[in-house]
C-alpha cells in the first residue's frame, strides 16, 4: 500500500531548468569551453553522476583536473541566479492535495543540504512535508544512499513509496529500492528520454494526486 511520496527538488518542484542552462553557459565561457546551444543540448548532456556531465561539457575530471574548481564556481553562479527561480506551476497545489488526503511527503535531493533548505525556505512548503533531505557535498554523485537511509529510518519498503522526479536518476533510484516512479517532463531531461524509461510521464504536477489515488 502506498503511504509516502518522495519528491525531487531541482527541476521537479523547483523550476530552475533555464537558469541551469544559463549558468552552465556562463561557466563554460569562463573556462573557454564551447557553449550549450540551448535546452535541447543541455537535456542531451545532463546526467548523474554530475562529474560525468561535466566531463561531457569538456571539463577535466581527472584527479588533477579542473572539475572541483568548476563545480565550486558553478555553485557560486547558480546560488546567485537561482534566487529568481520559483516553483513549477501546480507544485503547491499537488503538495496541498496530497497532504489533505493524508499522504506523507518528503523531499530527497542531490542538492547539498544547506543549499536545499535555503531554496525551500521562501515557499512555505514545510506545512506539507515531513522531511527535507539533501546530500553532504556539492558534487551530486547520487542520492540513492540518502533514499535508502530514509527508507530504513522510516521502516518502509519500496512498495510503499512513489518517487516523483524529472530525471533518469530519479527513475534509477526508484528501481533500485523497489518503488514506483512518476516522471515530470518540465525539468532536466527531455520528455522523449523520460518516456523511453518505461515509467509514467506527466506534464502537470497537479496530476500526481490522481496517480497516487490509483496506486
Instruction: Quick: pLDDT tens for 43-77.
Output: 999 998 899 999 999 999 999 999 999 999 999 99
Q: Are strands 131-135 and 161-165 parallel, antiparallel or unpaired?
A: unpaired
**What's the CATH architecture for 4-16+86-213?**
3-Layer(aba) Sandwich (3.40)
pLDDT number for residue 47: 92
Q: Name the one residue in this structure whose C-alpha cell is 536545499.
A: 116
Mean predicted lDDT score pLDDT of the chain:
94
Q: Shortest CA distance to 190 belongs to which of 16, 2, 42?
A: 42
Query: What is the 8-class DSSP label of residue 134?
Result: E
In the chain, which stretches have pLDDT less than 50? none
Residues 6+ apart with CB under 8 A from 142: 48, 49, 110, 169, 173
What is the Cα–Cα distance from 108 to 150, expressed in whole angstroms?
A: 9
Helix, strand or coil for residue 84?
helix
pLDDT number for residue 110: 85
Helix, strand or coil for residue 105?
strand
Q: Omega of the bond prior to 101 within 30 degrees of 0, cis?
A: no
Other residues' Cβ atoms within 10 Å of the Cβ of residue 13: 28
Helix intervals (H) in 14-62: 17-30, 39-45, 50-57
Contact 87/13 with Cβ under 8 angstroms? yes
Other residues' Cβ atoms within 10 Å of the Cβ of residue 126: 12
Domains of the chain, residue spans: 4-16+86-213, 17-84
Residues of the chain above pLDDT 70, percent: 97
Whole-prediction pTM: 0.93
Other residues' Cβ atoms within 10 Å of the Cβ of residue 64: 6
Amino acid at each position: 500500500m502506498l503511504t509516502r511520496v518522495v519528491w525531487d527538488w531541482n527541476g521537479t518542484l523547483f523550476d530552475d531548468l533555464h537558469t541551469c542552462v544559463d549558468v552552465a553557459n556562463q561557466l563554460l565561457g569562463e573556462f573557454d569551453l564551447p557553449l550549450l546551444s540551448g535546452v535541447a543540448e543541455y537535456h542531451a548532456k545532463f546526467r548523474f553522476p554530475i562529474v560525468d556531465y561535466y566531463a561531457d561539457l569538456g571539463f577535466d575530471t581527472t584527479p588533477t583536473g579542473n572539475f572541483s574548481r568548476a563545480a565550486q564556481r558553478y555553485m557560486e553562479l547558480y546560488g546567485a541566479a537561482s534566487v529568481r527561480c520559483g516553483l513549477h506551476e501546480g507544485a503547491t497545489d499537488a503538495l496541498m492535495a496530497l497532504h489533505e488526503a493524508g499522504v506523507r511527503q518528503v523531499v530527497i535531493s542531490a542538492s547539498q543540504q544547506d543549499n536545499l533548505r535555503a531554496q525551500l525556505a521562501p515557499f512555505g512548503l514545510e506545512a506539507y512535508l515531513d522531511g527535507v533531505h539533501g546530500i553532504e557535498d556539492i558534487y551530486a554523485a547520487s542520492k540513492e544512499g540518502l533514499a535508502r537511509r530514509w527508507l530504513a529510518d522510516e521502516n518502509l519498503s519500496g512498495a510503499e513509496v512513489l518517487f516523483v522526479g524529472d530525471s533518469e536518476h530519479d527513475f534509477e533510484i526508484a528501481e533500485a529500492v523497489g518503488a514506483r516512479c512518476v516522471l515530470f517532463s518540465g525539468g532536466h531531461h527531455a520528455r522523449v528520454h523520460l518516456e523511453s524509461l518505461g515509467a509514467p510521464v506527466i506534464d502537470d504536477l497537479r496530476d500526481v494526486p490522481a496517480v497516487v489515488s490509483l496506486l
